[in-house]
Amino acid sequence: MAEAFDVIIIGAGPGGYVCALRAAQLGMKVACVEKRATLGGTCLNVGCIPSKALLQSSEDFAAASEKFGEHGILIDGIRLDLARMQARKAEVVSANVRGVEFLFKKNKVTWLKGTARVTAPGKITVDGTEYEAKSIVIATGSESTTLPGVAVDERQIVTSTGGLELDSVPQHLVVIGGGYIGLELGSVWKRLGAEVTVVEFLDRLVPGMDGEIARAFERVLGKQGLTFRLSTKVTGARIGNDGVALTLEPAQGGEAETLHADIVLLAVGRRPYAEGLGLEELGVARDERGRVQTDGHYATSVPGIYAIGDVIAGPMLAHKAEEEGVAVAEILAGQAGHVNYGVIPGVVYTWPEVASIGRTEDELKAAGTAYRVGKFPFTANARARAMGDTDGFVKILADKTTDEVLGAHIIGPDAGTLIMELATAMEFGASAEDVSRVCHAHPTLNEAVKEAALAVEGRALHI
Ligand code: FAD
Ligand code: NAD
């Protein structure tokens, strides 16, 4: 007889593994299927974690090469040991994926190793072996989007996976796509010595983020030496003896040109992944972008089958997947699991970082919402000056009538950490005045948040 569980989760990324842990905490008998040799999904193996390890290492390298001097620290002969840097990245990944394995054991979650296929509601096979469950949660994540005419070989034309594994610094890296991956990995290789050109289809970077922040971001990265070709599309890539020849065209049509690169990083987005699961045969509904359709309780169109994370709608972010994992486990346990989609932070981990939460100014304008803006630059923040990191500003958008914080956008040092003060405020329905009345420690970067909140009422103190 097939082994039976209360819930089987397919995919052990941040959505799936967190769902498994929460379901186990709630007393369910849980299995999680993962076909990769290690747990943790895209995020821990080839996404968030290795990219952040390289961002940290390359940031330290750039600081030692370019910034230490202004602090009076003089080091001669700084050299790059890329092999060691990559080995350290692998150690960081390994510690994290082993950590998830430990958590599975601690919480008595069974890891079913192999590839799952859903054969009927309540029934799956893993590499041919049958299992049963009262509920099935699909958490199979996403994969890199392809581009016609640009054939990825993960050597010279790479996705983020190959872009994290380069064993030498490219002379000229051309990045296709000015979003999260393009700007993070573009920054890594720029700091390590590559010439980096980012080709972006739209007339701006990081679409979806606040437009004013995006323009400031472009200026700051430009100062660091990244080159941007906005409103430009790549229509072909040919690998030759001396690298890759890319065909570029203006986004709205026009004369084509050729751009040479030794490595091309394709980063034009990710698409949901549900290959080989058997969803079509079961009649699980998908939307026009291939995402599994779910209702407010993560139920798909087939009873007993749920879905979370990158494979469903919403931002493709690890913390969004995790929240959904917790919510669906609680719903299965009869509790009121819930995710507040209005308050999901997005962070680009460049230096300076860019962080965003809630509504952008562009969205408020489009919706006709009356709002007030408070801004405060890091040039006027004592801690940022002490650090020597004064690029950027905090921007808070508040409802004109009620003063409720509707959105917050930060470009600056540690923006990803700073945004969480505003996330907490928004989660509690705070006003800009509430934020400004909190006593902030001095000297901290957070004082820029307080000042931006004061600026909503036109009463910032330090500018
Ligand atoms: P995934 O993490 O993709 O996990 C799905 C898992 O399911 C995979 O391990 C896959 O092997 C497994 N699977 C699929 N099909 C089957 C099957 N049939 N049987 C068994 N197993 C199966 N997000 C952030 O929030 N912060 C970041 O800093 C960040 N950085 C990123 C950097 C890069 C380079 C990339 C590529 C992504 C980054 N992301 C980041 C996005 C983040 O990785 C994803 O949003 C997150 O991993 C989605 O989690 P998930 O659980 O939905 O899916
Ligand atoms: P993205 O959606 O962030 O950016 C893709 C960019 O490519 C966009 O600016 C888009 O306009 C552009 N583009 C699309 N087609 C193009 C074309 N033909 N030519 C030129 N440009 C084109 O996608 P991504 O950077 O590939 O990352 C995928 C997802 O992974 C992100 O959306 C995000 O959800 C997640 N991620 C998150 C983080 C983080 O949280 N720090 C880091 C990396 C990835």
276 CB near ligand 1 (under 6 Å): yes
Instruction: Report the mean per-residue pLDDT for the chain.
Output: 98
Measuring from atom 6 of ligand 1, which residue has the nearest CA? 11
What helix, strand, coil percent values describe the chain, rounded to 5?
Answer: 35, 25, 35
List, for residues 17-57, the tens digit of each pLDDT value: 999 999 999 999 999 999 999 999 999 999 999 999 999 99
Residue 1 has a pLDDT of 85
Closest ligand 1 atom to Cα of 42? 2
**pLDDT score recorded for residue 365:** 98
pLDDT bin (cut points 50, 70, 90) of residue 118 is: very high
Q: For ligand 1, what atom is nearest to the CA of residue 117?
A: 18
Q: Are 42 and 309 in contact (CB under 8 A)?
A: no
Question: What's the 318 CA to ligand 1 centre distance in angstroms?
Answer: 7
CA of 198 from ligand 2 middle (Å) equals 12
Compute the distance from residue 163 Cα to the ligand 1 centre, in Å: 16
* DSSP secondary structure, 240-286, as one string: ETTEEEEEEEETTS---EEEEESEEEE-S-EEE--TTS-HHHHT--B
CA of 226 to the centre of ligand 2 (A): 17
Ligand 1 site, residue 34, Cβ cutoff 6 A:
yes
Which residues have a Cβ under 8 Å from the Cβ of 372 and sit 6 or more positions away? Answer: 397, 398, 399, 400, 403, 432, 456, 457
Mutate to test the pocket of ligand 2, among 46, 161, 201, 233 (most ligand atoms within 8 A of CB): 201
Q: Give the position, in ligand 2's atom list, of the atom nearest the Cα of 270.
A: 28
Which residue's entry shows tokens 């050109």? Answer: 197
Ligand 1 pocket member 54 (CB < 6 A): no
Q: Compute the distance from residue 141 Cα to the ligand 1 centre, in Å.
A: 5
Q: Read off the pLDDT of residues 247-299 as tens digits, 9 standing for 90 and up.
A: 999 999 999 999 999 999 999 999 999 999 999 999 999 999 999 999 999 99
Q: How far is the CA of 96 from the centre of ligand 1 (A)?
A: 14
- Position 182 scores a pLDDT of 98
Average pLDDT, integer, range 190-202: 98
What is the atom index within ligand 2 of the atom nearest the CA of 349?
Answer: 41
Residues for the chain: how many in total?
A: 463
Residue nearest to atom 7 of ligand 1 (CA): 11
Determine whether 462 is an active site residue.
Answer: no
Rounded Cα distance, 278 and 293, in Å: 15
Per-residue burial over 404-428, b if 16 or more Cβ lie within 10 Å, else e, is bbbbbbbbbbbbbebbebbbebbee
Cα of 368 vs centre of ligand 2, distance in Å, is 28
Q: Are 326 and 16 in contact (CB under 8 A)?
A: no
Ligand nearest to the CA of 265: 2
* pTM score over 0.95: yes
User: What are the chain's domains?
Assistant: 3-144+271-339 (3.50.50.60), 157-268 (3.50.50.60), 343-455 (3.30.390.30)
- Say which ligand is closest to the CA of 48: 1
CB atoms within 10 A of CB 340: 10
Say which residues have a Cβ less than 8 Å from residue 251's Cβ, sequence separation at least 6.
201, 202, 203, 231, 232, 233
- Is the CB–ligand 1 distance for residue 319 below 6 Å? yes
Whether the CA torsion 350, 354, 356, 360 is positive or negative: it is: negative
Q: Which ligand is nearest to the CA of 251?
A: 2
Kind and range of the H or E run holding 92: helix 82-106
DSSP 64: I
pLDDT exceeds cutoff 90 at 426: yes
Tell me what pLDDT residue 390 has: 98
Residue nearest atom 47 in ligand 1 by C-alpha distance? 43
Ligand nearest the Cα atom of residue 279: 1
**Ligand 1 contact, 316 CB (< 6 A):** yes
